[in-house]
Amino acid sequence: MYLQKALTKSIRTDFIVEMVQMVSGLLLVLFLWTHMVFVASILLGQSSFGALAGFMDKYELLPVTVVVLIFIFAAHIGAIMRHLPARWAEQKVAWRHAKMIRHKDTWSWLFQIVTGFGILLFAFIHIVAVTYGGISVSLSKGRIDNPGFLIFYAILLLMSEYHASVGLYRIFVKWGFVNRHRLDRVLGVVTLLMLVIGFVTLGVFLTLKVAGGGVA
Amino acid sequence: MNSYDITTTDVLVVGAGLAGERAAVAAAEAGHNVIILSLIPPRRSHSSAAQGGMQASLGNAAMGKGDNPDVHMYDTVKGSDWGCEQDVARMFVETAPIAVREMAHWGVPWSRVRNEKRMYEGTEIVEDPEKVGLINARNFGGTAKWRTCYTSDGAGHTLLYAMDSIVIKLGITVHDRMEAIELIHDGERCYGVVARSLRDGELHVYIAKTTVIATGGFGRLYAASTNAIINDGGGVAMALNSGVVPLGNMEAIQFHPTGMVPSWILITEGARGEGGHLLDKDGYRFMPDYEPKYKELASRDVVSRRIMQHIRAGHGVESPYGPHVWLDIRHLGEHRINTYLREISTIARTFAGIDPVKELIPVRPTQHYTMGGIRTNKDGKVYGLDNLFSLGESACWDLHGFNRLGGNSLAETVVAGRIVGKKIAEYTNDATLEVKSNLIQEHVNKVSARMDAIRARGKNGENWVDIRKEMQMTLELDVGIFRTGEHLQHAVSKLSDLYERAQNVGLMGGGGQGADPELVNAMRLPGMLKLALTIARGALERKESRGSHFREDYPKRDDENWLKRTLAYWPEGAKLPELKYESITITEIPPGDRGYGESSGKK
Amino acid sequence: MSPRELTFHIFRYDPETPEVKPHTQTFKIPEEPAMTLFVALNKIRDEQDPTLKFDFVCRASICGSCGMLINGKASLACKTLTKDLPSDITLFPLPAFKLLGDLSVDTGTWFRDMSVRTESWIHTDKVFDETAQEEKMDDDLSLEIYEAERCIECGCCVGVCATANIRPNFIGATGINRVSRFMLDPRDKRDEQEYFEVVGNDDGIFGCVGLMACDDSCPIGVPLRGQLAYVRRKMAVAGWHRK
């Protein structure tokens, strides 16, 4: 027994943090997919997208979403940090280890760390843009027309779908209700579907003639 | 002058297999400080490789109904070909049921009697509903009842893990990768051992009130053995080196009928116990012709000889590794094979690329067990030195005589551990801790001098690899299942030459610093040759056939002249072991017919 | 057909001589029929370099001594046949354990420590009664316990575990499997809260990030993922109930 351990009142901390990680992760996946569907509403026509944007506007859902999202993001990152190879020496061990054992899931964990940090940065930029700009077809169209932003969104899309897919896979694997390799395939298909929707959406925006003309 | 650490304790146990650990537990429960030394982490001990099970006359299984210690006793004595100590066997059979239940109490997940019918060799077995859930038993060789308690085919593994869990629970100190090399003694009393760390090569001295040797057998003296590679008889050789401790019945070597060709990994007797058959090159089941009553399940010495006899008659399957026969378990069905013979089906698949559900397994009799060892009295106290005990396969407590029954070795470890362990605890109560520094120094110097000499000879010395190979082949070819005076004489002179050469062993690789494995092996070599010589000489002198010791030139058991036990001594500086004999304790069953084998079955 | 020549690249390092840096040494031997790495390594040691350190005991995949990285994959050397490998074979010792030299690692100390920390023994107040019949148990349950108890402590699952390589106190899949073995066993009287104290933390089940290298590596096929998930669910319930 060590002093600091003896002084620790609750030994539930690790359990609670683990649950926070899982629940926040699930919420983020839920958000991501909902977000994808919302954005994809452009596929049904500009009026659908506009109606959803209007709905968000009317009930002032945008700021609420942003605040909640930041909170969940923070919780997820906070919870996950405890498992990460945080120190430089640990990072080196982790990468060398993955190379040594040539194990797919171990590599995917390292990619998840990389995409996690990527998402953190990219999503921050995206959120700032949306928060200050608001949501409308023309705003989106305007950003997509910028090649820099187009690449930016393509990368964000890839990173978040990958991260979500691997994260979900891990939750199922850890709690163990499904066959691992079948699960791998199912999630692969779902992710591919989401990516297709995402890229088609980007494509639609790119070729879109905004009703009312002009770029805001 | 060499530096070394000194550790003192009440009881020092050399060897962390089942027997050593059980004795350690008994001593620790009695309040003694115990240290266990082991070449390897305890759970890797060869006890873990025992697959089949342990005999105890619980009589729970339908086919074991009516079993009791008397029946077990009779089977054991017959199996030993009247070579065992009957007072020891009596204690053993009475204690075995207690020991098996105690192991259940400590966590062994014994296979239990199931509430389902089963076909066995054409008969339907219906279990007693009252007994469902109690510890089950399977059929084993040379037994009148189904008596072998088992955990699928990992009995040794689960016993060892449960035993080690108690060692951990009691906080018993284990120093693994620590090789005991030399007994510290003055010709009358043992004070402990000089050991060498296999981590860094440093010498350590352990001083104890009571020292216990439980280092297992020495099958690796043979070229083809089912044994783990650590089973080279280190502890037994250490006792013999004292010059005053005798080894009993070293010529009694067991050959297991079913070692898998060519890796010589054991295929458990449980495979035949579950109903497996032996087939020859024509796919013919030959055992019923030789042993109409027991068939594949006569005692191991008999089945091994019958297989070799059948092969000699030209019915063996030719292979690059010599002729063999087949083990057939296909008719047991996939479920039973993959549940209760799981480890061996994995072994067959991995090492021979054979699926025993569909294919035959190539097998041949292979060295498996050493009935002989450090001679002790029935309390486990070693002959010749005070404060020294031995038990398990390393000892000749003499439960097995000239042939051990399958399932009696695992049982011996925990039963002897219980009985001898208690005696060790009592003995230690009255013992004092004595340290004579000049005696310690003398023995440390002896060990250091040996190491220094090997290092000094370096590449000019003999290569241990060559000598070991020649020794193994000599025993394999000349001191095998069928023995003759001519071959045994050849073995003795060949091994004597090798023993001389082993005195000049050197190092072919590095300088023997630290934990250099070559020095470790070179140090062991002379002791192994001494043991090989006690086997060969004992076999040469014993002019009769008894149990596993079969002389083609003396094919009959000779109770008039040879109802006695060989004791092999190795006086300081001698070139050959000195043999003496002692009488065998017969308390209840006078020598008679075994009911199987050459004297009873077909010639 | 002439036999293949096998080229071994073997990790060499002796902690006793740290001035000689870790390196790989190359050995060539002709392949033999049914050759295992046990046979090959002994051949190399007997004929080419008697100082090479490695551990074998049973050579029959029972004792768990010879876990190592074989072309990156953790397995038992004794049960690995050379015919299943390419002719270039790279051998490294298992990571995460203390290196004793070359391919030899100290799994013994690690496992003993794990057994002590998980209190791997039957906890009961009952005193053994020599005269009593054993308690009954259903054979299916004993088979289930044996399934978890089949672990041979080879350390492959620990060696490949990224978490175990970074966090020395993590008990690994083998430790969690060990706990599940006792949870299943009605003879062990510990309740869920007592198990939670042993394993309901980041050194135990909640330290597992689910990479499943353990599940992909167990050389004797203990269903580690199932055992990990079983303990995780049990411990989640225990954590939920905990005051």
With pLDDT > 90 as the criterion, what percentage of chain B qualifies? Answer: 93
The reported pLDDT for the residue numbered C145 is 97
* B254-366 CATH: 3.90.700.10
Two tokens, residue B273: 């116990």
CA distance B321 to A138: 82
Neighbours of chain A (3+ CB pairs under 8 A): C
Q: Which CATH architecture fits B447-562? A: Up-down Bundle (1.20)
pLDDT value at C149 more than 50: yes
Two tokens, residue A196: 């297709």
The reported pLDDT for the residue numbered A181 is 83
CA–CA min distance B133, chain C (Å): 5
Element at B13 (helix H, strand E): strand B5-14
CA distance B34 to B11: 5
Cβ-based contacts of C158 with chain A (< 8 Å): none
The reported pLDDT for the residue numbered B603 is 52
Is there a contact between B265 and C60 (Cβ–Cβ < 8 Å)? yes
CA-based nearest residue to A46, from A179, A146, A159, A141: A141
- Nearest residue of C to residue B42, measured between CA atoms: C108
CA distance B71 to B496: 44
- Nearest residue of B to residue C82, measured between CA atoms: B351
Two tokens, residue B165: 């869990």
CA–CA min distance B481, chain C (Å): 23
Asked if C136 lies within 8 A of B134 by C-beta distance, the reply is: yes
Token match 């783990």: residue? Answer: B228
Which residues lie closer than 8 Å to C185 by C-beta, 6 or more apart?
A: B107, B109, C122, C145
When pLDDT is averaged across residues C198-219 and rounded to a whole number, the result is 94
Q: Do C and B share at least 3 CB pairs under 8 Å?
A: yes
- Nearest residue of C to residue A96, measured between CA atoms: C162
* C118-126+133-240 CATH: 1.10.1060.10
Domain spans of chain A, in order of start: 2-85+119-207
Give tens-digit pLDDT for B280-313.
999 999 999 999 999 999 999 999 999 999 999 9
C130 interfaces chain B, CB cutoff of 8 Å: yes
Element at B449 (helix H, strand E): helix B437-457
The reported pLDDT for the residue numbered A216 is 33
Interface of C with B in 51-80 (CB under 8 A): 51-53, 55-65, 79
**Is C5-105 assigned to CATH 3.40.50.300?**
no
A5 interfaces chain C, CB cutoff of 8 Å: no
CA-based nearest residue to B542, from B442, B425, B402, B410: B402
When pLDDT is averaged across residues B196-218 and rounded to a whole number, the result is 97
CA A28 to chain centre: 6
Low-confidence ranges of chain A (pLDDT < 50): 212-216
When pLDDT is averaged across residues B22-27 and rounded to a whole number, the result is 98
CA-based nearest residue to B233, from B526, B550, B582, B540: B526
Is there a contact between B115 and B125 (Cβ–Cβ < 8 Å)? no
Two tokens, residue C53: 């350190």
Q: What type of residue is B335? A: H
DSSP structural state of residue A12: -
The reported pLDDT for the residue numbered B409 is 97
B602 vs B546, B558, B594, B595, CA distance in Å?
A: 17, 20, 13, 11
The reported pLDDT for the residue numbered A58 is 86
CA-based nearest residue to B341, from B124, B63, B138, B101: B138
B11 vs B177, B192, C135, CA distance in Å?
A: 19, 9, 33
Is there a contact between C52 and B517 (Cβ–Cβ < 8 Å)? yes
The reported pLDDT for the residue numbered A144 is 86
Q: What type of residue is B191? A: Y
Phi, psi of C51 (to 5 degrees): -90, -5
Asked if B230 lies within 8 A of C57 by C-beta distance, the reply is: yes
CA–CA min distance C16, chain B (Å): 7
Count of Cβ atoms closer than 10 Å to residue B113 Cβ: 23
Interface of A with C in 69-128 (CB under 8 A): 82-83, 85, 90, 93-94, 97-98, 100-103, 105-106, 108-109
When pLDDT is averaged across residues B531-554 and rounded to a whole number, the result is 97
Phi, psi of B142 (to 5 degrees): 70, 20
Q: What type of residue is A49? A: F
Q: How many CA atoms lie within 13 A of C172 on its CB side?
A: 30
Task: Dihedral sign for Cα C171, C176, C181, C186, please.
Answer: positive
The reported pLDDT for the residue numbered A8 is 67
B457 interfaces chain C, CB cutoff of 8 Å: no
CA–CA min distance A97, chain C (Å): 7
The domain A2-85+119-207 is classified under which CATH number: 1.20.1300.10, 3.30.70.120, 1.10.357.10, 1.20.140.10? 1.20.1300.10
The reported pLDDT for the residue numbered A166 is 93
Which residues lie closer than 8 Å to C225 by C-beta, 6 or more apart?
A: A173, A176, A180, C212, C215
SS3 B257: strand
pLDDT value at B600 more than 90: no
Pairing status of strand B34-38 against strand B173-176: parallel
Q: How many CA atoms lie within 13 A of C81 on its CB side?
A: 13
Which residues lie closer than 8 Å to A203 by C-beta, 6 or more apart?
A: none
The reported pLDDT for the residue numbered B372 is 97
- What is the pLDDT of chain B when averaged over all its residues? 96
CA-based nearest residue to B291, from B6, B20, B603: B603
pLDDT value at C11 more than 80: yes
Q: Give the nearest partner residue to C213 out of A16, A18, A106, using CB atoms.
A: A106
The reported pLDDT for the residue numbered A215 is 37
The reported pLDDT for the residue numbered A57 is 83
- Taking the CA atoms of residue B47, residue B51, residue B52 and residue B53 in that order, the dihedral angle to the nearest 10 degrees is 40
Rounded to a whole number of angstroms, the distance between the first and last alpha carbons of chain A is 65
Asked if B112 lies within 8 A of C139 by C-beta distance, the reply is: yes
Count of Cβ atoms closer than 10 Å to residue C16 Cβ: 15
DSSP B374-437: EEB-TTSBBTTSBTEEE-GGGEE--SSTT-PPTTHHHHHHHHHHHHHHHHHHHHHHH------H
Task: Dihedral sign for Cα B347, B348, B354, B357, please.
Answer: negative
When pLDDT is averaged across residues B171-199 and rounded to a whole number, the result is 97
- Nearest residue of A to residue C202, measured between CA atoms: A14
- Taking the CA atoms of residue C221, residue C225, residue C226 and residue C230 in that order, the dihedral angle to the nearest 10 degrees is 140
CA distance B261 to A139: 77
- Nearest residue of B to residue C125, measured between CA atoms: B105
Domain spans of chain B, in order of start: 254-366, 447-562
Asked if B157 lies within 8 A of C150 by C-beta distance, the reply is: yes
pLDDT value at B354 more than 80: yes
Interface of C with B in 1-30 (CB under 8 A): 14, 16-17
CA distance B238 to B350: 37
CA distance B590 to B599: 16
Q: Give the nearest partner residue to A105 out of C213, C232, C233, using CB atoms.
A: C213
Is there a contact between B363 and B265 (Cβ–Cβ < 8 Å)? no
Is there a contact between C215 and C225 (Cβ–Cβ < 8 Å)? yes
- What is the pLDDT of chain A when averaged over all its residues? 88
Give tens-digit pLDDT for C180-189.
999 999 999 9
CA–CA min distance C100, chain B (Å): 7
For chain A, give the longest Cα–Cα distance: 72
Give tens-digit pLDDT for C79-124.
999 999 999 999 999 999 999 999 999 999 999 999 999 999 999 9
Give tens-digit pLDDT for A117-163.
999 999 999 999 888 888 888 888 888 888 899 999 999 999 999 99
Interface of B with C in 98-127 (CB under 8 A): 98, 100-102, 104-107, 109-114
The reported pLDDT for the residue numbered B35 is 98
Burial of B474 (0-12, 13-18, 19+ CB in 10 A): buried
C147 interfaces chain A, CB cutoff of 8 Å: no
- Taking the CA atoms of residue B325, residue B478, residue B373 and residue B57 in that order, the dihedral angle to the nearest 10 degrees is 20
Cβ-based contacts of C160 with chain A (< 8 Å): 101, 103, 106
Interface ipTM: 0.97
Name which residue leads in pLDDT, C179 or A141: C179
Cα R_g (chain C), whole angstroms: 21
Angle at B228 between CA B408 and CA B416, to 5 degrees: 30
C198 interfaces chain A, CB cutoff of 8 Å: no
Which residues of B are designated catalytic? Answer: 256, 272
Is there a contact between C35 and C71 (Cβ–Cβ < 8 Å)? no
Asked if A102 lies within 8 A of C230 by C-beta distance, the reply is: no
Give tens-digit pLDDT for B471-497.
999 999 999 999 999 999 999 999 999
The reported pLDDT for the residue numbered B224 is 95
Burial of A108 (0-12, 13-18, 19+ CB in 10 A): middle
CA A172 to chain centre: 18
Place B602 in a pLDDT band, splitting at 50, 70 and 90.
low
Q: Give the nearest partner residue to B350 out of C79, C135, C142, using CB atoms.
A: C79
Domain spans of chain C, in order of start: 5-105, 118-126+133-240
Asked if C112 lies within 8 A of B168 by C-beta distance, the reply is: yes
The reported pLDDT for the residue numbered B450 is 96
Answer whether 0.90 is exceeded by the pTM.
yes
* Low-confidence winner among A45-54, B45-54, B251-260, B318-327 (lowest mean pLDDT): A45-54
pLDDT value at B51 more than 80: yes
Alpha helices by DSSP H, listed for B117-275, are 155-169, 234-241, 270-273
Cβ-based contacts of A109 with chain C (< 8 Å): 162, 209, 211
CA distance C26 to C22: 13
Asked if A97 lies within 8 A of C162 by C-beta distance, the reply is: yes
Pairing status of strand B203-213 against strand B5-14: parallel
CA–CA min distance C236, chain B (Å): 26
Token match 């297992």: residue? Answer: B216
